[in-house]
Amino acid sequence: MTAEEQFLQNFQSELKRGALVLVTLSQLRQAQHGYQLVKTLSEAGLEVEGNTLYPLLRRLEEQGLLSSTWAITEEKPRKNYVLNPKGARMLTEMLAIWQASNHTIDQLLNEE
Amino acid sequence: MENQEMIQRYIYAVTQTLPAAEREDLGRELAAVIEDTLAGQGPEAAQDPAAVRQVLRDLGSPRLLAMKYRGREEEALIGQPHYNLYQIILRIVLWAAGGGLVLAQILTAVFEPQANLLSYTLESLFSIFNGLLVAFAITTLIFAVMYRKQVRFDEEDFLESLPELPAETQKRESPWELAAGIIFFVLFILAFAYSPRVNLPVLADGKWTSILNGELVGALAPLALAAGLLNLTSLIVNYAVGEVNTGAAILDLGANALGIIYAFSLLTKPEVLNPGFAAMLQGLTGLDAAGVSAGFQWLPLTVLAVIVVVLLFDSGQTIYGLIKAKSKA
């Protein structure tokens, strides 16, 4: 990998890292289990490694933004995560920050 | 190893270092995730050892995954907030300790002429290396504890701790004062804990001798070491914190108290002066032993009085600063 490719990869990783919590919370308005969420994000074009996402889900749960339940009615037990009221409020705030930042950055990038 | 056994062992390796209350839940979740991932690769993947190995490799080493679950993947011994100061202080400590140790070895050779100079030189080099290693370890330990206990630099008050311009009177502690303090306490530890027989050397009539009684200083070496280390820690913590806070003030007061206890323990003993030094004084003054004893008995007590006054003044300043800071808050 050339230095330029490495630079671009680092840039992409940092962007992804910054947005991952927001994206994760946004996708958990509907309950999903960890692997399902990895697939959802992957199908949307955002490749996230399981060893990053699974610990993140638990941390967000510890921080009180997600709730979890074991779905024992399925053939295999799976732990589902879903946004709780506190997480929903936080998501709204985060989206506002994200959109404001995007707006500012877009303006700067589009300046002649 | 069977596929299931490998998966179970992987899960065990991840969960064993986590809090007991989380292990079962996390183990079940990991098992489900691994099973789902294998199922996502096709109906035969769960039976394919290569596929199982790949899934586990993708999850990464159990130790790293466990750290991520504990939220500690970015843990460090010292950490970025303190690293720059650590480098500066480590450099000062190593130079002071190295210089002091070389001096101590040279003085020891002068005091006690060595029969085998080569052997003594090798022992000295080993001793200096050991001393540097201990200095490195202690400095690193102090910073590791500061990082662990989240001793913080007050970024909001950085305007209060900007270095003064050279032309102005320096009111706050400057890095040079810090360096001087570190050098003083490292030399103190070397003289009073590491080489108690040498302690404070003086040269008179071409002969070296120590001012204080080596046996007495040696007997108090653990107290000297504790007082020196506590003062060193207090110095670094107070500089790092950059403001008066309760923890740093308590550390400063404790260091001063231990310094006073040590000074009392040493300087109030009648045998505090080295007999060799007393003999030297006899030669210099022309007094007899009784005359020297009577004429110089004030010396240790005067030094003690100066130390006590200085440390009490420093303690008073610390308490005043703390009260002022609290009333501002």
Per-residue pLDDT tens digits for A50-77: 999 999 999 999 999 999 998 876 577 8
pLDDT value for B166: 56
- Separation between Cα atoms, residue B100 and residue B83, nearest integer Å: 25
pLDDT value for A42: 93
Mean pLDDT of chain A: 92
Q: Do residues B303 and B266 lie in contact, with contact meaning Cβ atoms separated by under 8 Å? A: no
Question: What are the Cα distances from residue B205, in Å, to B161, B209, B279, B282?
Answer: 49, 11, 12, 13
- Separation between Cα atoms, residue B141 and residue B137, nearest integer Å: 6
Taking CA–CA distances from B71, the nearest residue in chain A reads A59
Which residue would you say has higher pLDDT here, B74 or B253? B253
**């490998």: which residue's tokens?**
B6
Which of B33, B69, B71 lies at the smallest CB-CB distance from A34? B33
Q: Do residues B259 and B311 lie in contact, with contact meaning Cβ atoms separated by under 8 Å? A: yes
Q: Does residue A3 fall inside a structural domain?
A: no
Does A73 contact B at CB distance below 8 Å? no
CA distance B145 to chain A (A): 26
**Range of lowest pLDDT (A74-78, B31-35, B60-64, B90-94):** A74-78
Question: What are the Cα distances from residue A16, in Å, to A66, A85, B31, B49?
Answer: 20, 25, 27, 32
Q: Does residue A96 fall inside a structural domain?
A: yes
Per-residue pLDDT tens digits for B155-203: 555 666 666 665 444 345 667 878 888 888 888 888 888 888 877 887 7
pLDDT value for A20: 94
Q: Do residues B184 and B100 lie in contact, with contact meaning Cβ atoms separated by under 8 Å? A: no
Domain range enclosing A95: 16-110
Percent of residues, chain B, with pLDDT higher than 70: 89
- Say yes or no for a CB contact (<8 Å) between B40 and A54: no
Top mean pLDDT of A78-92, B139-153, B207-221, B294-308 is at A78-92
Q: Does residue A84 fall inside a structural domain?
A: yes
Q: Does residue A25 fall inside a structural domain?
A: yes
Q: What residues contact residue A90 under an 8 Å CB cut-off, 6+ apart?
A: A25, A65
- Separation between Cα atoms, residue B312 and residue B319, nearest integer Å: 10
Per-residue pLDDT tens digits for B245-288: 788 888 888 888 889 889 888 888 888 888 777 777 777 777 77
Q: How confident is the model at residue B41 (pLDDT cuts 50, 70, 90)?
A: confident
Q: Does residue A88 fall inside a structural domain?
A: yes
Percent of residues, chain B, with pLDDT higher than 90: 13
- The domain total for chain A is 1
Which of B29, B32, B65 lies at the smallest CB-CB distance from A51? B65
Does B71 contact A at CB distance below 8 Å? yes
Rounded to two decimals, the ipTM of the complex is: 0.83
pLDDT value for B289: 73
Q: Does residue A1 fall inside a structural domain?
A: no
Which of A50, A55, A78 lies at the smallest CB-CB distance from B37? A50
Element at A80 (helix H, strand E): strand A78-83
pLDDT of B137 strictly over 90: yes
CATH number at residue A82: 1.10.10.10
Task: Give B115: exposed, middle or buried? Use CB within 10 Å, 0-12, 13-18, 19+.
Answer: exposed
Return the residue in B15, B35, B57, B68 with the most chain A beta carbons within 10 A, the one to mutate for interface testing. B68
Average pLDDT, integer, range B198-209: 75
- Separation between Cα atoms, residue B56 and residue B223, nearest integer Å: 54
Which residue would you say has higher pLDDT here, B284 or B135? B135
Q: Do residues B235 and B178 lie in contact, with contact meaning Cβ atoms separated by under 8 Å? A: yes
Average pLDDT, integer, range A65-91: 89
CA distance B27 to chain A (A): 11
Q: Which of B186, B196, B268 is nearest to B227 (CA)?
A: B186
- Rg from Cα positions in chain B: 29
CA distance B234 to chain A (A): 36
Q: Which of B111, B133, B32, B26 is nearest to B69 (CA)?
A: B26
State which amino acid sits at residue B65: L
